[in-house]
Amino acid sequence: MAGKESTNPNQLSSNNLQNQANQLWATYRINEEVKREPIANERFWNDYLLLLKGVQKQTYSRIQTTSSHIDNQADDGKKPKTILLRDIVFLVSFVMATSFLIVYSTLSRTKFYSLESALKNPEQVEELLLSAQYLKAIPRSIARLKNLKKLDLRSNEIAVVPKEICQLTNLEYLDLAGNQLTEIPKEIGNLTKLKTLDLAINELKTIPKDVGKLRMLKVLRLYDNRINKLPKEIGNLTTLRTLGLSFNEIVKLPKEIWNLQKLTNLDLSFNSIKVVPKGIENLKLLQTLGLSKIKLSNFPNEVLKLTKLKRLDLGSNQITSIPEEIKQLSNLRELSLTFNPNAIMRYESKLKKWLPLCHVYMYYN
């Protein structure tokens, strides 16, 4: 038709690429339900990747043609140069996009959001994310996932941990927080590659001594249970960085806990310890220490040797005085003394002088 420029169907721009992508996605949605897990969308991503590769090839060809055209023109050939620059930018961006999709496609084949889909390809499963799915039990068939590294079962209704989970010896991350567990099988000690173990917000009263076999563990969260005693074997976890014990019923800590000299975060809040035991000064790398509501009647002088501390919580105790030596904690940035007796308020101005870089919280009931 006169007045219209002919278009080359092999030439693609960013606009019609988007149109093709939108059409591809719409067609995919009609033919297949788009599920939560990326693996279910694998065909779409493969098609989209092919589309990107086609665009790159055509853009590269157009760059070669435009370059030859510029070489044969005089210096006033501004339009071809502009087209060339645009195409180069366009090509670079698509190389980056294609690289991302290749990585994404690889990752998506190892991460699953349902046990049913994971068991279809058990050898390739590295992450199984089943949090908040109202699960009441864990099927024994989970033992088939021999290459599993991360298992997230947080916020379900699980009451029993099957021993089959303890056969997953490649596990590095296990999250069972927010369930209804009353005990942990001793076979947990078989998971010697574990780096993170989260058992918080359950109904646990004890922890098996076999947890001491988890020598690679860096994070152990046990807060908000009913634990009244820790096994002495916990002292074997010498690579531990974070230990969360708050909101339990602990009266006494085993002396072996002071072997954990790589700890940077320790929370003992809301227990019945009453006195901070000698030995805590061995944890020289501690940066965060929670001692809130543990029935302290005096300032724990033992913490004055923890010179790397950045956050110290002493709230909700019965502390009435602060030693001037607290200024030794020159790295302290947050100090909570909330909900202690009113007498503590007389130290407010002194603390500003002793710890000029520290934010001190002192409000009371």
CATH number of domain containing 146: 3.80.10.10
Using CA atoms, how far apart are residues 356 and 338, in angstroms rounded to an integer?
A: 19
Task: Examine the domain organization and report whether 123 and 245 are in the same domain.
Answer: yes
Query: What is the extent of the structural domain holding 60?
Result: 14-108
Task: Examine the domain organization and report whether 152 and 244 are in the same domain.
Answer: yes
- Asked whether residue 212 is assigned to any structural domain, the reply reads yes
Task: Examine the domain organization and report whether 22 and 146 are in the same domain.
Answer: no
Using CA atoms, how far apart are residues 355 and 326, in angstroms rounded to an integer?
A: 8
With tokens 């590769």, the residue in question is 53
pLDDT-derived band at 6, boundaries 50, 70, 90: very low
- Asked whether residue 49 is assigned to any structural domain, the reply reads yes
- Asked whether residue 271 is assigned to any structural domain, the reply reads no
Please say if the pLDDT value at position 10 is more than 90: no
Work out how many domains the chain is built from and give that number.
3
Task: Examine the domain organization and report whether 125 and 257 are in the same domain.
Answer: yes
- Asked whether residue 6 is assigned to any structural domain, the reply reads no
Torsion of CA 161, 167, 173, 179, to 10 degrees: -10
Average pLDDT, the chain: 83
- Asked whether residue 4 is assigned to any structural domain, the reply reads no
- Asked whether residue 273 is assigned to any structural domain, the reply reads no
Task: Examine the domain organization and report whether 170 and 228 are in the same domain.
Answer: yes
Task: Examine the domain organization and report whether 136 and 188 are in the same domain.
Answer: yes
Give the pTM. Answer: 0.74
- Asked whether residue 5 is assigned to any structural domain, the reply reads no
Using CA atoms, how far apart are residues 227 and 213, in angstroms rounded to an integer?
A: 19
What's the Cα-to-Cα distance from 171 to each of 14, 128, 188, 197, 236, rounded to whole Å?
43, 11, 11, 10, 19
- Asked whether residue 272 is assigned to any structural domain, the reply reads no
Burial of 305 (0-12, 13-18, 19+ CB in 10 A): middle
Task: Examine the domain organization and report whether 146 and 69 are in the same domain.
Answer: no
pLDDT at 110: 87
Report percent pLDDT > 90 for the chain: 67
Q: What is the pLDDT of residues 83-141, one digit of tens each?
A: 555 555 555 555 555 555 555 444 457 899 999 989 998 999 999 999 999 999 999 99
